[in-house]
């Protein structure tokens, strides 16, 4: 938990910054990375080409994974647009992703960054986004702004890819400067002194990094609609409702972030989840249950790998728009923390049986929350079955990590309803080019 005093007003809030460390942290984002890479691969200009990167063009319901800036502007095609919704226009090029190529470009960009700073000063946040600490680079490369311009020029020269960079005194403000400002201008530098003028007016709250729609709805119910409202809220009230997350929400609204480079911006993993949009409408409990078992396996494996177990299972079901949308989101607290696949699955089944009303389903999500260390699980020597189940789960995890996610599958994955085998052909949700287990020569 952040050890920073709550501010009762803006004037007192300024004093919160006096002892805050101010480092030149940048957050660099490759604009429309997949679409830009695809354009360059075709010998086109990423800023003028109309590129839609689509996971599987054989399925009319496949979604757009990335859209070039011009495609977004001129045709309204964005990430999530369905293949059949894309206008029939000869200027639009539909490209299947070459994830091997994208990942290679991403790694080469990271190597470029390492020419200017030590590797420990680089935190790869995602395939198209990284944090970099520029502390100590002034003697070699000049001011941070000078180095930033050089980095962006190098990326254009070597890769023909556009980038945007946000800079701040910590990871949070660098990320916010990127998301809320630099993605429109190419570069933005935010300081603590900019928080009131630039961050506080932000509304809706979901525009701020780290606040999703569910959290936004809860905050709205508390009368909090802007980041400024959040900054002026009573810290104790936020902590009562959200626990440690409430503490960090409050301080993030003031631009304060004490995490080290590479550490998560929200202290500690608060849950493990898995969600997916189904390839088609699922209309029976049996079909839905098959996918839930696959998803429970994935969530449980991630918890086991991290040495965590959870007490709260949340199931979210989204109905097809052909059935007028809607859905439900319900949670169940179980008696004992678990990371066992079947226990997680049974909890999901219980929620499904209680709240599902028979409509066609298109979206599913499972979350395991209220985490605690796995060592807290009551695995006494007299409960051999629990130990055997845990060891079996661990052995399956190791096989998947070594030989790939399809090395060990449950029988439901071989039914028509299963999605695990099809999704295993994707990398990060995108179609892989070639065998992902064959190293490049």
User: Helices then strands (H, E): number in the chain?
Assistant: 16, 14
Of 12, 96, 129, 335, the catalytic one is 129
d(CA 424, CA 426): 5
Which whole-number Å values give the CA distances from 106 to 28, 33, 271, in the listed order? 12, 9, 28
Per DSSP, the three-state class of 437 is coil
Class of residue 328 by CB neighbours under 10 A (exposed 0-12, middle 13-18, buried 19+): middle
> How would you list the strands of the sheet with 64-67, edge to edge?
64-67, 50-54, 92-95
d(CA 181, CA 134): 20
DSSP secondary structure of 193-252: GGIIIIITT--SGGGSTT--HHHHHHHHHTT--SHHHHHHS-HHHHHHHHTHHHHHHHHH
d(CA 26, CA 119): 15
Contact 418, 294 (CB under 8 A): yes
Q: Where are the alpha helices (DSSP H) in 42-182?
A: 69-75, 99-113, 138-141, 144-159, 171-177
d(CA 313, CA 329): 11
Nearest to 136 by CA among 28, 23, 27, 26: 23
The torsion of the CA quartet 116, 117, 123, 128, rounded to 10 degrees, works out to 0
CA neighbours closer than 13 Å in the CB half-sphere of residue 390? 21
Per DSSP, the three-state class of 349 is helix
d(CA 315, CA 57): 30
Both tokens of 318, joined, read: 């989204």
Is 108 noted as a catalytic residue in this protein?
no
d(CA 258, CA 21): 9
**Active site residues per annotation:** 129
């Amino acid at each position: 938990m952040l050890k920073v005093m709550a501010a009762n007003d803006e004037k007192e809030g300024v004093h919160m910054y006096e002892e805050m460390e101010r480092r030149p942290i940048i957050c660099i984002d490759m604009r429309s990375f997949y679409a830009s890479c695809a354009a360059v691969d075709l010998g086109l200009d990423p800023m003028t080409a109309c590129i839609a990167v689509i996971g599987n063009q054989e399925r009319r319901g496949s979604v757009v994974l990335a859209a070039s800036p011009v495609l977004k502007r001129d045709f309204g095609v964005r990430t999530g647009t369905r293949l059949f919704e894309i206008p029939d226009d000869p200027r639009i090029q539909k490209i299947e992703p070459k994830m091997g190529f994208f990942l290679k470009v991403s790694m080469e960009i990271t190597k470029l960054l390492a020419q200017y700073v030590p590797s420990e000063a680089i935190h790869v946040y995602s395939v198209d986004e990284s944090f970099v600490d520029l502390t100590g680079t002034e003697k070699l490369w000049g001011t941070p702004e000078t180095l930033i311009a050089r980095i962006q020029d190098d990326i254009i020269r070597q890769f023909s890819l556009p980038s945007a960079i946000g800079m701040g005194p910590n990871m949070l403000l660098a990320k916010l400067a990127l998301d809320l400002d630099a993605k429109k201008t190419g570069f933005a530098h935010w300081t603590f002194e900019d928080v009131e003028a630039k961050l506080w007016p932000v509304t809706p709250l979901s525009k701020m990094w780290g606040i999703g729609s569910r959290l936004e709805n809860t905050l709205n119910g508390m009368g909090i609609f802007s980041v400024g409202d959040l900054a002026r809220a009573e810290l104790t009230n936020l902590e009562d409702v959200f626990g440690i997350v409430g503490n960090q929400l409050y301080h993030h609204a003031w631009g304060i972030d004490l995490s080290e480079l590479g550490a998560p911006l929200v202290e500690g993993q608060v849950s493990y989840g898995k969600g997916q949009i189904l390839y088609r409408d699922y209309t029976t409990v049996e079909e839905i249950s098959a996918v839930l078992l696959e998803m429970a396996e994935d969530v449980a494996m991630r918890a086991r790998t991290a040495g965590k177990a959870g007490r709260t299972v949340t199931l979210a079901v989204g109905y097809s728009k052909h059935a007028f949308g809607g859905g439900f989101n319900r949670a169940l607290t179980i008696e004992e923390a678990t990371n066992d696949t079947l226990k997680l699955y049974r909890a999901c089944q219980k929620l499904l049986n209680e709240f599902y009303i028979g409509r066609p389903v298109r979206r599913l999500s499972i979350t395991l929350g209220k985490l605690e260390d796995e060592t807290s699980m009551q695995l006494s020597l007299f409960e051999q079955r629990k130990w055997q189940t845990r060891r079996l789960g661990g052995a399956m995890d190791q096989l998947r990590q070594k030989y790939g996610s399809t090395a060990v599958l449950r029988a439901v994955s071989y039914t028509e309803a299963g999605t695990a085998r099809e999704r295993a052909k994707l990398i990060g949700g995108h179609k892989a080019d070639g065998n992902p287990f064959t190293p490049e020569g």
